Amino acid sequence: MRCINKHLIRIPRCVFPALLLTIMITGCGRDVDMPYQSLPEGSLFDVTPEAGGRVEPFSEDLCIAGNSSESLMEEGADKDYAAAALFDVNGCQTPYSDNVFETLYPASMTKVMTAIIAMENGTEDETVICSENVKITESGAQLCGFEPGDELNLDQALHALLMYSGNDAAVAIAEHFAGSESAFADMMNEEAARLGATGTHFVNAHGLHDEEHYTTAYDMYLMFNKAITYDWFRKIIGEREYTFNYKTATGEYKEMNFKSTNLFLKGDVLPPGGITVVGGKTGTTMAAGNNLVLLSEDDTGKPYISVVMRAKERGILYSHMNQLLDKIGK
């Protein structure tokens, strides 16, 4: 019995190696008693013969996206955002996607990946010590005000990173785990590749502008989808306000309080009826525009991830985000 019919099928040469491997492993769609491990180098499977199990495709539990034929804009209006998408997390469906593979600047949405690396490698109570590099001088940079020699635990640092979007917190976390921000960026890029975020490249842990620091709306979904598997992450992004005490370089303790930068959590913007916003991550720079990746739930608790990138204004950002949320269940 043949696996193909007599019709001529034209397949690009670059597809042949993957196709051949797939045919060798799966035959005509039958189960194979071989496990696999996905490889960051881009291989489809790493097959080993000593155990049993079904070889599953990399994207089996992920949403696949294309480009939607409709727009969030009114007919004839100039587009005031670059990309937008809505993903049904459990259903592995994409109810809406627009321009999700365009290379864009993520701004502070970068900190989602910073948090992933920290949560994979650290514990809540380990101590993070700030170096001279927390003294970021770039105009407009969001800073908590940490000083060299200040000490805080990782949970506090992650609250400062994700809720207040402190760029100095990002530097402190990066140096804590990798010794330098550039080495930490290498870790971020490795993790992005492992997640399949092939349109992403990081050069820092905070998202301050660099032309070589970019991602796509679909890649933001992949990274955020990984981040929400951590209860620690979900807890932090869902908090409206946070107060903590940390040890300064002089040995004294200083209190810090901040509120979420997410207008849904602050109550300044309301989601559509029946939708609960769990939390998310904002990102804003002059080059990146206004950005937001969000976790929401419908009235049954079913989770959705939504992304809007490079909106021209903050009000436009939240307006388009609500348009996406309004599509849930429809």
Half-sphere exposure of 101 (CA within 13 A, CB side): 7
Q: What is the pLDDT of residues 90-107, one digit of tens each?
A: 999 999 999 999 999 999
Q: Which domains are seen in the chain, by residue range?
A: 1-58 (no CATH), 63-330 (3.40.710.10)
Q: What is the pTM of this model?
A: 0.82
Top-confidence residue, 72 or 256: 256
Confidence of residue 4 (pLDDT cuts 50, 70, 90): very low
Annotation marks residue 330 as catalytic = no
Half-sphere exposure of 91 (CA within 13 A, CB side): 15
- pLDDT of 13 strictly over 70: no
Annotation marks residue 97 as catalytic = no
Q: How far apart are the C-alpha atoms of 223 and 280, rounded to whole Å?
A: 12
Look over the chain and give the mean of its residue pLDDT values, rounded to a whole number: 86
Of 251, 295, 60, the closest CA to residue 162 belongs to: 295
Task: From the candidates 108, 260, 296, 306, give the one annotated as an active-site residue.
Answer: 108
Q: How many CB atoms within 10 Å of residue 135?
A: 13
Read off the pLDDT of each residue in 44-55 and give the average, rounded to a whole number.
Answer: 43
Rg of the Cα atoms in the chain:
22
Annotation marks residue 68 as catalytic = no
Task: From the candidates 111, 226, 260, 296, give the one annotated as an active-site residue.
Answer: 111
219-72-103 Cα angle (round to 5): 30
Task: From the candidates 97, 165, 296, 306, give the one annotated as an active-site residue.
Answer: 165
Top-confidence residue, 56 or 284: 284
For helices 111-121 and 181-195, what crossing angle results, to 10°? 90
Confidence of residue 330 (pLDDT cuts 50, 70, 90): confident
SS3 305: strand
Top-confidence residue, 107 or 330: 107
Top-confidence residue, 280 or 330: 280
Q: In the numeric block, which tokens belong to residue 290?
A: 């206004």
- Residue written as token pair 């739930």: 297
- pLDDT of 220 strictly over 60: yes
Q: How far apart are the C-alpha atoms of 306 and 295, rounded to whole Å?
A: 7
